[in-house]
Structure 1
Amino acid sequence: MESIKLNNTTYVFARNFKHNQKIRTSFNRLTESVFGFSLENWYHDGFWGDYYIPYTLLHDNKVVSNVSINKIEFDMEGKRKTGIQIGTVMTDEKYRNRGLNKYLMERVIREWQDQTDFVYLFANDSVLDFYPKFNFKVVEEYQYSKTIDTHSASSTWKKLNMEDPADVAFLIGRIKDSTPIAKISMRNNASLIMFYCNSYKKNSIFYIKKLDAIVIADFKGDTLYLDDIFSKSPIKINSVIQSISDKSILNVILGFTPLDDTGFEKQLIKSSDTLFLLKDKFEFFANKHWMFPVLSRA
């Protein structure tokens, strides 16, 4: 830790403090107040690994501002790339408009832009004017979908129980051994996927025995939201769709860009989260009709 003076106030800068209970507790209080979640269970379950690094300012022993990085490896059309995703950008309400996030953003970019293939982040509508100040540029993303006609699910599946250590171990092993199904496929980062699987997606994890594949998906009305597929061998997405959908499902929306997009329609994503890439690392993504996998978003 080190002392930092900003606008006549002295702060303590801390980085990667996951094993410091006092700082971690204060950090989680701020994430809960700003975003509505805590990383405490993620830490105790052993999934807060070395790839997630907070850059944090403290004042009076309290976390008041933060910018985190997630170091993520991707297979992109057969080439291994390493990206730095910036996230958990937050400042205590009483400390806003003091340049704290600006200091942390500049420090993160300075330390990482030459150590990685690209730097990126997702921003909501309220901060779209903030990130261009740091040389970030908006990038369009495209999502793939299709209509289907399925009379009944063609094979049996079971829901995995994230309270069962055997199911958890099975899922983690399959994530690590999986074959890419997407043009942008996150690799070697089971910890980020487990953040979702132990929280927002804990009731959305299915094992299809016939295909020997684990699927993360949600069913909403007549639509199947297929977030990811984990299989040791190459697998056809249509086989998964047919195996898990019944006659009530008429539409499928993918949470990734399929390696084979035959039969799928692509559509420009228009949502509250906008993708920004650092401009000097921008070229590889230009003119690609891609999206980052939904389970890779931190």
Structure 2
Amino acid sequence: MTTPAAVEIDHRDRALQAAFCDYVPQVFRTVDFRRWCAWGEWNDDYRAFVVLDEGRVVANASVMRMRLRVEGREVIGYQLGAVGCVPSHRGQGLSRVVMQAALEHCGDAPVLLFANKNVLGFYPRFGFTPREQALFGAAFHAEPGGEPAPVLELAEADVRAGLVSLCDEGLAVTERFGARGHARIASWYAATAFSRPLRQLRADAWVFASVEDGTLYIDDIFARELFDLRPHIPRLIDQPITAVHFGFTPERWWPQAGVVGEDTEAYLFVRNLALPPGPHRFPVMART
């Protein structure tokens, strides 16, 4: 039996994009790329390497070009996502075909990915090493107050453009292990209704944040300059809180924060990438 070749899909191929969008929910039941594509967020940084069967995508490994931040340095690398094979075509080695094509595209550059616990034995075959991710938080008592920070809707094109601008030109949320220019990953979470609300603290400072059970969760901050978050907390909450938790390493935004657990919702694997010692958390809104 001849091993099929992988086909590359980029942002210009609308027909194959549609086939990719049909593939995704067959493998990841709650995931959908259609709205994100309709928003025009698939750009030249995102490529899908697929196996086709009569025009249908049956296996895929996607690659997102990333501007990684590692210990204060910018490193161009890649992040893999949506790796899998439809149930009807499993056991034929197709996931290996698309993984090899994706990694050939990445070359010797750093590569990372997040996987679920069911496939932890798969990625080390391709040179990936698992790395632990921490959860960060701090005790903080606050009551709602002041004018609530307005919610911005990423369904609006001008809001998406504003997020791209803040993300490209502003501060990286962390210098330990993070990213810049990941607005189109963040918009995917909004397009699929997986994100917390995007709130505007001021014209040049937007945050994804919401309250659950007395804890304020801040998943990402897009800002042009560093500022003190604490006076703004009352504008982000609609009930009293006793703690703040972060979706990233908060060394620059909340230096007093500490490790409050291990991030076990998604398991990090890296290839050709040396990470800083000590606890860190790759921003949740920059994960594909």
How does the TM-score come out when normalised to structure 2? 0.89
1:231-262 per-position Cα deviation (integer Å, ceiling 9, x unaligned): 22212233443442355222211011123353
- After superposing the two structures, state which structure 1 stretch, 212-221 or 237-246, moved more: 237-246
Q: Does 1:175 align with 2:183?
A: no
SS at match of 2:167: helix
Contact persistence 2:186–2:285 (CA under 8 A): yes
Residue 112 (structure 1) aligns with:
106
Residue 28 (structure 1) aligns with:
21
- After superposing the two structures, state which structure 1 stretch, 220-229 or 146-155, moved more: 146-155
> Which amino acid is 1:291 matched to?
R
Unaligned runs of 5+ in 2: none
Unaligned runs of 5+ in 1: 1-7
C-alpha distance in 2, partners of 1:204/1:297?
A: 17
Task: Give the length in aligned residue pairs.
Answer: 285
| Aligned 1:1-298 pairs, distance under 5 A | 8-9=1-2, 11-35=4-28, 36-114=30-108, 116=109, 118-183=110-175, 184-200=177-193, 204-209=197-202, 212-245=204-237, 247-260=239-252, 261-278=254-271, 281-282=272-273, 284-285=274-275, 287-298=277-288
- After superposing the two structures, state which structure 1 stretch, 10-19 or 73-82, moved more: 10-19
Q: CA RMSD in A?
A: 2.3
SS at match of 1:157: coil
Contact persistence 2:70–2:276 (CA under 8 A): no
For residue 292 of structure 1, report the CA deviation from its aligned partner. 0.7
Aligned CA distance change for structure 1 residues 119 and 173 (closer, same or farther; 3 Å): closer
Greater Rg over alpha carbons, structure: 1
1:149-181 per-position Cα deviation (integer Å, ceiling 9, x unaligned): 113335541111334444444333333332233
- After superposing the two structures, state which structure 1 stretch, 181-190 or 49-58, moved more: 181-190
Contact persistence 1:204–1:216 (CA under 8 A): yes
C-alpha distance in 1, partners of 2:24/2:249?
A: 30
Contact persistence 2:151–2:200 (CA under 8 A): yes
The percentage of aligned residue pairs carrying the same residue is 25
C-alpha distance in 1, partners of 2:3/2:18?
A: 21
C-alpha distance in 2, partners of 1:16/1:270?
A: 32
C-alpha distance in 2, partners of 1:19/1:212?
A: 32
C-alpha distance in 2, partners of 1:129/1:266?
A: 27
> Which amino acid is 2:23 matched to?
L
Aligned CA distance change for structure 1 residues 87 and 168 (closer, same or farther; 3 Å): closer
- After superposing the two structures, state which structure 1 stretch, 170-179 or 67-76, moved more: 170-179
- After superposing the two structures, state which structure 1 stretch, 122-131 or 38-47, moved more: 38-47
C-alpha distance in 1, partners of 2:265/2:56?
A: 30
